[in-house]
Structure 1
Amino acid sequence: MLNVAFKSLLLALFLTSSAMVAKAADTDLVKVPSPHSVKQTADNLVAAVEKAGAKVFARVDHAAGGKSVDMEIPANQVVIFGNPKLGTPVIRDAPEAGLDLPIRVAIIETDNGTILVYHAPASLAAAHGLPADHPSIGKMTGALKNLTAKASE
């Protein structure tokens, strides 16, 4: 009987911790709706990034990639961009953060319309052991909020 109770307790702890991890992952993604197509939203984001003085490093069209192998997915593009003034201090303080920088914003066609999706910079800080109040993380947060808002205007 004690063995059954112990197994039940372990299962409950596992399910609770799994739910907490899933919840944390959900809050790490920021989703911004856009009234425009994926292409137009991505074009708007590129223009906003360039106007802000940051650099667009790449634009990946996942739907086109799928088509190249005879597979269809809804429109889905990723814009990869950054500003060395913000990213370099993060990489200096946590070199492995280079895995997550430059910033990536996915623009995705969903059943409910186009959305921009990105990882909250605070999750980048947490993942790489940076303090939540790291100066670049706060600036990245504000920049992403402003840039994605402009892309969805």
Structure 2
Amino acid sequence: MTSLTRRLAATLGIVLALGAGASAHADEPAGDGLVKVRSAYPVDETIRRLREDIAAKGIMFFSAVDQQQLAAQAGITLRPSTLLTFGNPPLGAQFLTSNPYSGLDWPVRLLVLQDEQGTVWAAYTDFAWIARRHGITDRMPQFAMASRVVESITSTIRPK
């Protein structure tokens, strides 16, 4: 079963049992809705590739918040961590018209970070999880589209 199918099934309240002892892949959502995608590149190259793909798709880029830099300004040491925000207002606004509180999860947020082992990750909130969080049941095609887009964007950093 594909990752998208799992998310859509979860949104519709269908329980999918994993086999005994099985675990979700790193790029499948955890129970908290977090999807982690391992990058094949260093942090700066990961961010560059993601931003280039976002631009190539004609998606509006809003900001890049360098959390490591902000922490350093506060005298705190933090591994590389940058939050990218982007979106497609005609698509995102459809979620807001269904439930205005879903604006807490829009625009799309993609966190690029380096873990303690030096592995670079891009993480985002699973769209099916967002739908459940906000009780949105009337925008399934739009959530599926958002999932396909972010999966396409993050495919640019996956190991080959």
Measured in 2, the distance between the counterparts of 1:101 and 1:135 equals 17
Percentage identity across paired residues of the two chains: 24
- Measured after TM superposition, the shift of residue 117 of structure 1 is 0.5
Cα deviations by residue, 1:44-75 (Å, 9 ceiling, x for unpaired): 11111111011110100000011112211110
Shift of 1:138: 0.4
Instruction: Establish whether residue 131 from structure 1 lines up as the match of residue 137 from structure 2.
Output: yes
| Structure whose residues are more often helix by fraction | 1
Match of 2:111 among 106, 109, 122: 106
Alpha-carbon offset, residue 24 of structure 1? 2.1
Letter in 1 for 2:114: E
Deviating 4+ runs (over 4 angstroms): none
Please give the root-mean-square deviation of Cα atoms over the aligned residues, in Å. Answer: 1.5
Matched position secondary structure for 1:150: coil
Aligned residue for 2:114, secondary structure, equals: strand
Residue 84 of structure 2: aligned partner = 79
Tell me how far apart the structure 2 counterparts of residues 151 and 87 of structure 1 sit (CA, whole Å).
24
- Quick one: structure 1 residues 103 and 151, their matched pair in 2 at CA, closer, same or farther if it must change by over 3 Å? same
* Contact kept? 1:41, 1:152, Cα under 8 Å: no
* 1:112–1:67 distance in 2 versus 1, CA, 3 Å: closer
Partner-residue secondary structure (3-state), 1:143: helix
Q: Aligned with 2:106: secondary structure?
A: coil
Q: TM-score, normalised by structure 2?
A: 0.76
1:129 counterpart letter in structure 2: G
Q: 1:32 aligns to what SS in structure 2? A: strand
- Matching residue's letter, 1:72: T
Q: AA paired with 2:61?
A: V
Q: Secondary structure at the match of 1:24?
A: coil
Q: Which runs of 5+ in 1 are unaligned?
A: 1-22
Q: Which has the larger radius of gyration?
A: 1
Matches of residues 7-46 of structure 1 in structure 2 within 5 Å?
Answer: 24-25=31-32, 28-46=33-51
Aligned partners of 1:42, 1:94: CA distance in 2, in Å?
31
The answer for unaligned runs of 5 or more in structure 2 is: 1-29
User: How much has 1:151 moved relative to structure 2?
Assistant: 3.5
Q: How much does 1:112 deviate?
A: 4.9
Structure 1 position 152, deviation (Å): 3.8
TM-score by length of structure 1 reads 0.79
The number of aligned residues is 129
